[in-house]
Amino acid sequence: MKKILIVFGTRPEAIKMAPIAKKLESEKKFKTKICVTAQHRQMLDQVLDIFDIKPDYDLNLMKENQSLYDITCGVLNSIKDVYDYFAPDIVLVHGDTTTTFAASLAAFYKKIKIGHVEAGLRTGNLYAPWPEEANRALTGILTNYHFAPTETARQNLLKEGKEDKNIIVTGNTVIDALYYIVNKINSQKELEKKIIDDLFNKYNLNLTTDKKIILVTGHRRENFGDGFINICEALKELAERYSDSCEIIYPAHLNPNVQKPVNNILRNIKNVHIIEPLRYEIFVYLMSKSYLVITDSGGIQEEAPGLGKPVLVMREVTERPEAVLAGTVKLVGTDKVKIFNETKKLIENSLEYEKMSKAINPYGEGKASDRIIDFLKKRL
């Protein structure tokens, strides 16, 4: 029986690896274990709870004001013992985090095969996004099997000299996770009621309003400082311009570099709701009820179009050009004038809105996990 170790450490990784982990639970050909680094502790635990995943190994590395040096060294030093004890035939990592790169490097040192989920995403600029672009490129060098979400990602890998036989286009597992949660909410009316009650009682959010809901997320390191100030000033202008017709909901990342400008600029505006990061199923529900999404996230560029929501991306470049080409996503950077004008266009121009909301999502139909597991059955 071949042994698979799934490694992840952040909330986005957990969301995207959960569908694979759940499907591998019932696979008799593999012995599967899960190792979390807890690069993000609180937000990671929320996802584990939602998908009912119990890690076999928990490195519990998160500490206050941790640096990239801390995370990298912590993963390398701690995961070695897990590899020695479990002796996996392959380690599955995801995407572009420091956990991903460090776990891959540690696996390489042990000559353990590596499978990279969401492989091949590239901007071509090592500093945008930073450090994610370097993490995924470096992981790609060490990887044995590349699970590319799109044909564009596959082409990126081929250009870098990766062997075609070791690449498979799968779609993105985030769509698997998204549909899993949507189906769960739709089939459990008591869960939907609890979500609505939580949003109202905890955050004073009334989703029965006729107002358009603009959902905002932001956390990218390259936007710290002036970037976040510009973002918040654009949101302030939008809130004032559409005070009677729009509600802006901002689940603000816990990083102080995000919290400070968000609270300084947006805290006392009546139609701006600054709330804590939400559990994934609550966030998905809120996204489904939103009019549009403004974000610098990677995963939301894939998820929101799956729900028919236009996305304005507060980044200069994206490793997900498929969404831009498909018309589901538009880049606005951290230029406050551009953020304001593009949002205004979607609020006031119904044709522009329909064009984005009805564009076809290029990230698949929710079968990525099945394709990955089928590939592993043939190759391991």
Catalytic residues: 96, 118, 132, 219, 221, 253
| Alpha-carbon 163 to chain mean position | 27
d(CA 182, CA 191): 11
Instruction: Provide the 3-class DSSP secondary structure of residue 214.
Output: strand
Cα–Cα nearest to 223, from 114, 351, 359, 336: 336
At 59, list the tokens. Answer: 């490195």
Residue owning tokens 């519990």: 60
Distance CA 356, CA 350 (A): 10
User: How many C-beta atoms lie closer than 10 Å to residue 8's C-beta?
Assistant: 34
Which residues make beta-bridge pairs with 92? 6, 115
At CB < 8 A and 24+ separation, what contacts does 189-194 make?
191/281, 192/285
Helix axes 336-348, 350-357, angle to 10 degrees: 100
Q: Where are the beta strands (DSSP E) in 207-285?
A: 212-217, 246-251, 272-275
Rg, C-alpha atoms of the chain: 20
**Pairwise CA distance, residues 337 & 324, whole Å:** 20
Residue 136 CB coordination number (10 Å) = 28
C-alpha distances in Å from residue 292, one per residue of 200, 246, 307, 333: 20, 11, 10, 16
CB atoms within 10 A of CB 373: 18
